[in-house]
Amino acid sequence: MSFTSLLLIALLAPAGEPAASAAAKDEVAASIDARRADYASLAKQIWGFAELGYQEEKSASLLRARLTKAGFRVDRGVAGMPTAFVATWGQGKPVIGFMAEYDALPGLSQDAVPERRPMGEGEPGQGCGHHLLGTGSTAAAIAVKDWLFRSKRPGTLKLYGTPAEEGGGGKIYMAQAGLFEGVDAMLMWHPSDKNDASPKETLANISAKFRFRGVASHAAGAPEQGRSALDGVEAMDYMVNLMREHVPADARIHYIITHGGAAPNVVPDAAEAYYYARHASVPVLDKIWERIVKASEGAALGTGTRVEHELVNAVYAMLPNHKLHELADVNMRRVAGYAYSAEEQAFAERIRATLPEAKAELGSQTRVAPFQLSMGGGSTDVADVSWLVPTCDVDAATWVPGTPAHSWQATAAGGTSIGVKGMVIAAKTLAMTAVDLIFDPGLIEAAHAEWQEKRGADFSYRPRIGDRKPPLDYRR
């Protein structure tokens, strides 16, 4: 690079940013732009696969192949999960991690059009944008790898392919296996309806399947001989719904009946309900969960049935790291937002017509949200990683403003150029933040100091799932 180019970069760089760092950031951003069409194609393929948790064979294979081609060493099937992997490149410190997700959600199949049009009725869809998440993190890791290789700087990059974020807890089993040990900082992003690098808190979560067993009988000919497992499920649901008046207002409890019997004229001898409970405080959540379990036992007693429950997932609340998020915020503002093309604007306006309570206005994707601590209503296994490694998790506008996650509208936008534009913002933000951490070890030290203070001197991570194995069949 010429002296004139370096001088120009120095003049245009944010105050206090070294010219060499600014040049490196421009380099990784240009690298991502150069492969934009390739990454867009990769994300669209994973969007089309729409594979559920622990079933993401094709999605994980595509990402592994791309990383292998880029020179990463890929260890597959880690931590007892066939679709989990760790891709590693480089040597020495610092060790920077990126996380990729790629699982879809049940029942959210949707074409990339602005009206409800499932591609397969009842089939899965990428309603949380994990096809973009996995691809964007991969793009960031490869861009930083290429820069490190050319600049001959020390440093190790790790891309974690983490399956089944949607309730399967893949990252927890990677944590159990010690796969995050030695990582200095973890960089992550998530699809959203806004560009936002602010630190976020999330809710701790417990989920389980409650299985009731009864006695089958002819529902009309011999009802007195039957004991309905479905009655047990419904009695439990009724009691838990009564609980809602007597739990903290910020608690969340939701459930579905996954199995209620085979025919109305057969007293069901088996039925199942799938429950989630969430709260920001782990001790409060544990007390709520204890009451839910007791409700299931009372329901079984009252209906003459038996009940057992299988823990599916349990995650911590997020431990946000302000130091890392401050870095990411500066870099996201450097990247900035994006404008819609005429075609994208028309698409967005039609999506907005289906969102009568949209909270964000069209056009907000052109800017970055104010930096402020926020509380999210969801839960994620990223939170467990945040207690093991200082973690930064930013949002990028891959959906039309006002679109909620886990909706057909999110699936639709994620299959268009709108999703790709948001993904590129995220990839550049993560890559630039990695550059900062590699240039200045003091930034990692500051992030670690904050992390240690928040965790407390006596904290010892224990997975809330105990010693159970990955629930590889939880979506089957």
Q: What is the DSSP string of 360-372?
A: S-TTGGGSB----
- Per-residue pLDDT at 41: 98
- The residue-averaged pLDDT of 169-196 equals 98
| Same domain? 171 vs 296 | no
- Per-residue pLDDT at 3: 39
Whether pLDDT at 202 is above 90: yes
Whether pLDDT at 201 is above 60: yes
- The residue-averaged pLDDT of 200-225 equals 97
CB atoms within 10 A of CB 80: 13
- Which amino acid would we find at residue 341? S
- Per-residue pLDDT at 144: 98
Whether pLDDT at 20 is above 80: no
Whether pLDDT at 15 is above 70: no
pTM for the model:
0.92
**Three-state secondary structure readout of the chain:** CCHHHHHHHHHHCCCCCCHHHHHHHHHHHHHHHHCHHHHHHHHHHHHHHCCCCCCCHHHHHHHHHHHHHCCCEEEECHHHCCCCEEEEEEECCCEEEEEECCCCECCCCCCCCCCCCCCCCCCCECCCCHHHHHHHHHHHHHHHHHHHHHHCCCEEEEEEECCCCCCCCHHHHHHHCCCCCCCCEEEEEEEECCEECCCEECCEEEEEEEEEECECCECCCCHHHCECHHHHHHHHHHHHHHHHHHCCCCCEEEEEEEECCCCCCECCCEEEEEEEEEECCHHHHHHHHHHHHHHHHHHHHHHCCEEEEEEEEEECCCCCCHHHHHHHHHHHHHHCCCCCCHHHHHHHHHHHCCCCCCCCCCCHHHCECCCCCEECCCCCCHHHHHCCCCEEEEEEECCCCCCCCCCHHHHHHHCCHHHHHHHHHHHHHHHHHHHHHHHCHHHHHHHHHHHHHHHCCCCCCCCCCCCCCCCCCCCC
| Same domain? 163 vs 290 | no
Last residue within a domain, chosen from 277, 298, 315: 315
Q: pLDDT confidence of 4, banded at 50, 70, 90?
A: very low
- Per-residue pLDDT at 232: 98
Whether pLDDT at 8 is above 50: no
Whether pLDDT at 5 is above 80: no
| Same domain? 440 vs 299 | no
Whether pLDDT at 342 is above 80: yes
- The residue-averaged pLDDT of 48-68 equals 98
| Same domain? 195 vs 215 | no
- The residue-averaged pLDDT of 393-405 equals 97
- Per-residue pLDDT at 2: 44
| Same domain? 117 vs 214 | no
| Same domain? 392 vs 428 | yes
Question: Whole domain around residue 111: which residue ranges?
Answer: 19-200+320-455
| Same domain? 187 vs 101 | yes
| Same domain? 360 vs 287 | no
Helix boundaries (H) for 210-354 = 229-243, 282-303, 322-335, 342-352
200 forms beta bridges with: 374
Say which CATH number the domain at 330 has: 3.40.630.10
Distance of CA 455 to the CA centre of its chain: 22
| Same domain? 189 vs 214 | no
Whether pLDDT at 9 is above 80: no
Residue 4 within a domain: no
- The residue-averaged pLDDT of 352-371 equals 92
- Per-residue pLDDT at 262: 95
Say which CATH number the domain at 230 has: 3.30.70.360
Question: In whole numbers, what is the pLDDT of the chain averaged over residues?
Answer: 95
- Kindly report the backbone phi and psi dihedral angles of residue 300, in degrees, each rounded to the nearest multiple of 5, phi listed first: -65, -45
Is residue 199 within 8 Å of 328, Cβ to Cβ? no
pLDDT tens per residue across span 83-112: 999 999 999 999 999 999 999 999 999 999
Residue 73 within a domain: yes
Residue 140 within a domain: yes
- Per-residue pLDDT at 17: 66
- Number of domains composing the chain: 2
Residue 474 within a domain: no
- Per-residue pLDDT at 14: 52
| Same domain? 193 vs 212 | no
Whether pLDDT at 10 is above 80: no
Report the candidate in 407, 475, 405 with the shortest Cα–Cα distance to residue 209. 475
Residue 163 within a domain: yes
Whether pLDDT at 420 is above 70: yes
| Same domain? 382 vs 241 | no
Residue 46 within a domain: yes
Whether pLDDT at 13 is above 60: no
Last residue within a domain, chosen from 264, 291, 315: 315
Last residue within a domain, chosen from 263, 283, 315: 315
Is residue 453 within 8 Å of 323, Cβ to Cβ? no
Residue 50 within a domain: yes
Residue 372 within a domain: yes
- Which amino acid would we find at residue 331? N
- Per-residue pLDDT at 7: 37
Written as one string, the DSSP assignment of 218-259 is: BTTTSGGG-B-HHHHHHHHHHHHHHHGGGS-TT-EEEEEEEE
- Kindly report the backbone phi and psi dihedral angles of residue 196, in degrees, each rounded to the nearest multiple of 5, phi listed first: -155, 120
| Same domain? 32 vs 160 | yes
